[in-house]
Chain A
Amino acid sequence: MDFDFPADAEAFRSELREFLAEELPDWWTNMFANDERVFPFCKSFCQKLAQRGWLTMAWPKEFGGSDADTWTQMVVREEMMAAGEPRGSQYMNLNYIGPTLMMAGSDEQKKEFLGPMARGEAYWCQGFSEPDSGSDLASAKTTAVDDGENFIVNGQKIWTSYATFADHCLLVARTDPDAPRHKGLSLFIVDMNTPGITVRPIDSMGGPVEFNEVFFDNVAVPHNRLLGTLNKGWQLIMASLSLERGAFAGHVRMQSSLRELSAYLSEDEGGAFPQHNIADRAELVKVQTRIRASRLLCYRLISNQAGGELNPIDPAVAKIYATETAIYASEAALKLLGAQGQLLAGDPFAPLGGLAYRNWVHSVPMVVAAGSNEIQRNIIAQHGLGLPR
């Protein structure tokens, strides 16, 4: 066992931090900020990363990557997450949409779509969830019917992040309505400019830009945009979701917030913590211990991956623990901030510029995203403990 990052990964971390310190503007908080400067900034930031070879360094060389080792990849995820994810939505390309294309795409598809991702020019969204298909993804009703020339897509997707500006959608649609549920689904690459697609933003507690509904009305998708084998989409979807879950490095964001919180709480104390209240100090220890465990569960997954012993329940365990710790940590922060904790960003009295509230509002839906924690618990119970379905 070794609980230190390799020296070269740590050296790269320092380099990356210097780069971030230079590039991040004063107004930057995080990718979900309701600020029109966010999108153009993320775009140019990704291109700068790409120029340095840092955007897709985790990818194989043949697809524009540099085969970076697993811990260097972890450094990138951590530093980006700590900085409020200045790559914007492109983290999805790197973590799972690109790798899904590598797994199942045709040569032509890989050539067409991986290149722009590697250059930091591609925007994607994920068309999985539907109004009646959340956790029960295999019940998806959106259809894709082959008319001889194209697949004609009809249906509705929901909770689709980034759909307002995405160029492409990784879409799940039913291609065989008569087959058993899991055996009639396929994945498609859909050009978001195709006629018949309507995107409607959903205003949410997280702000006006986080989620959307996407309507498909007789949308023609060419044959060569089918990803993988017809009607064999399910396994690919599962692999894709597993990559998505395993790539979450929330612990760094939680830890930096905890550090900011403790500095804030100590300002009027002249010490590091509110010394007068042992319960408050103990609360910070409890939060930090959970953050540490969250980090280690993430690292165990990566260690297993690197050792070629990927345990199928690792991503589920890491995802549940990290997302529930994020809620625990933001709850604790709000509690420790007392009455002022209810003040929002923009109010002059809001502690830490509304950081604790922002963390909370973005943490609560995480237990639902990328496969709800209830579904993850089913995975652990069935595949980890051998309990019956």
Chain B
Amino acid sequence: MNLLFDDVQKMIQQGANRFATSELVPERIREIEASPDGFSNEVWNAIVDMGWTGIAVPESFGGSARGVADLCIIAEELGAAAAVTPLIVSAGLAASLLQKVPATAVTTALIKDIVDGSIVTAALVEPTGRSERTFPAIPLLEIDGAYSMSGMKILVPYAASAKEILVNVKMADGAMALVAVSTAGEGVVMSRHKSVGGEPLYEVRFDSVKIPVERVIAQGVAAETALDAGLNFATTLKIAEAVGLCEGVVRLTAEYAKIRKQFGTAIGAYQAVAHPCADMRIQADACRLLNFESAWLLDQSRSDGYTVASTKAYVNEVAAKIGNDGLRLHGAIGYSNEYDLQLYMRRIRSACASYGDSGEELERAAAALSERFGSPDYDGFV
């Protein structure tokens, strides 16, 4: 048992912190968000050069095989700078999903591409679906051994910057399949949503898109298992980002409470301000530790998703409260778009909604906890 970072993790953290605080300053973050694709090639290339896209990928694909816990360290530092990047969907969700499906030339090439900096995104949510985990309705049609698909997915991150999109679809027998679709292919049309969080999200239409057979990368249970693994991975990274966003709020609020004077006193000296600040500190720490335990279990291949789901539900609540309290403690200045707090508050809203809202995650966790308590052997905490 040791909850401290090892030396490599400390180095990763320092590097990520240095990059975030020097390159990802608030003006830059605003610029990127306001750009048409919500994406900066320059920032992304720097991220790729630092090797972050390969941190959780085995060496055989060009990665450094460190794991999701280490990627969480980076996601948190980026979150603390209110920076959103394709790291979570591409190096997280897509890369881990692709490692779980049966290995083929297509999947191997995609994983290597991700490490090299190509963005692979995932189209999972449908207009009638609650979340990324809702079973897909888009049919995968098979005619004379050739596949094609038509339909719409929404909330697809970084679709305009992505090379490939992983899509979950429904086969004729009702089972799920995962397909890899090139964004350059005929019949793929996208437009950017109006959304709260800074991460560019797209509506993507597939219009009789032809899917070569080798691009159906998993079917049935294999598809569901791989998607579940990818989502657990991505959820863990999204939580880490949320923890970073919370840290950003804590930092801004504590700084402001030191300099803002009312009734002749810095407001941080009033316990009505100081104590909620202390609560933010406590809760952000709790969230971080919960999530690192999840990440560690994932890296040890010992997770059934229970800690991921229960942590997401908890962090959703905590992050929303930290954001709201940040505004309350700032006063009206926190509501202004000129001040940075809004960057964090809006991204927190998005992080809470992505990869599992509280209700859905609690249901998922309750089913897993129910099994644990039903087993006479269970006497642990995870």
Interface string of B316-346 (1 = CB under 8 A from A): 0000000000000000000000000000000
B382 within 8 A of A: yes
Check if A282 sits within 8 Å of B278, measured CB to CB: no
Q: Are B373 and A262 within 8 A (Cβ)? A: yes
Q: How far is the CB of B264 from chain A (nearest CB, A)?
A: 12
- On chain B, the residues within 8 Å of A293 by CB distance are 286-287, 289-290, 314
Of B54-62, B80-88, B217-225, B269-277, which binds chain A?
A: B269-277
B143 interface residue, CB < 8 Å from A?
A: no
Is there an interface contact between B381 and A255, defined as CB atoms closer than 8 Å? yes
- Residue among B1, B314, B374 having the largest count of chain A Cβ atoms under 10 Å: B1
Contacts of B372 in A (CB 8 A): 272
The stretch of A124-132, A183-191, A222-230, A380-388 in contact with B is A380-388
| Contact call B282/A385, Cβ cutoff below 8 A | no
**Restricting to B343-382, which residues have a CB under 8 Å from any CB of A?**
359, 362-363, 365-366, 369-374, 378-379, 381-382
B278, A289: Cβ atoms closer than 8 Å: no
- Counting contact residues on chain B (CB < 8 A from A), the size range is 35 or more
State the majority secondary structure of interface residues on B: helix
User: How far apart are the CA atoms of A313 and B254 in the complex, in Å?
Assistant: 16
| In the assembled complex, B297 has its CB within 8 A of some CB on chain A | yes
B9 touches A286 (CB 8 A): no
Partner of B5, one of A1, A284, A386: A1
Q: When the two chains form their complex, are residues A303 and B3 in contact, meaning their CB atoms are under 8 A apart?
A: yes
Q: Is the CB of B258 within 8 A of A6?
A: no
> Is A385 in contact with B369, judged by CB distance below 8 angstroms?
no
A384 contacts which of B265, B273, B278, B359 (Cβ < 8 Å)?
A: B278
Complex contact A285–B366 (CB within 8 A): yes
Please indicate the chain B residues that have their CB under 8 angstroms from the CB of A266 in the complex. Answer: 373-374
Say whether B275 contacts A374, CB under 8 Å: yes
- Asked if A303 contacts B4 (CB within 8 A), the reply is yes
Interface residues of A in 215-248 (CB under 8 A from B): none
- Among B277, B297, B381, which residue has the most Cβ atoms of chain A within 10 A? B381
**Is the pair B370, A272 in contact by a Cβ cutoff of 8 Å?**
yes
List B contacts of A275 (CB < 8 A). Answer: 370
Question: Are A3 and B1 interface neighbours, CB within 8 A?
Answer: yes
Q: Answer yes or no: A320 CB below 8 A from chain B CBs.
A: yes
Contacts of B197 in A (CB 8 A): none
Which residues of the other chain, A, contact B366 by a CB distance below 8 angstroms?
273, 278, 281-282, 284-285
- Point out the residues of chain A lying under 8 angstroms from B279, CB to CB: 377
Choose among B3, B9, B258, B296 the residue that contacts A299 (Cβ–Cβ < 8 A): B3
B371 touches A272 (CB 8 A): yes
Q: Known: A384-B281, A385-B278. Contact between A286 and B3, CB under 8 A? A: no
Select B1's contact among A6, A286, A374, beta carbons within 8 Å: A6
- A296's partner among B265, B286, B310 (CB-CB below 8 A) is B286
- The residues of A with any CB-CB pair to B shorter than 8 Å are 1-6, 9, 71, 74, 251, 255, 259, 262-263, 266, 271-273, 275, 278, 281-282, 284-286, 288-293, 295-297, 299-300, 302-304, 306-307, 309, 313, 317, 320-321, 374, 376-378, 380-382, 384-389
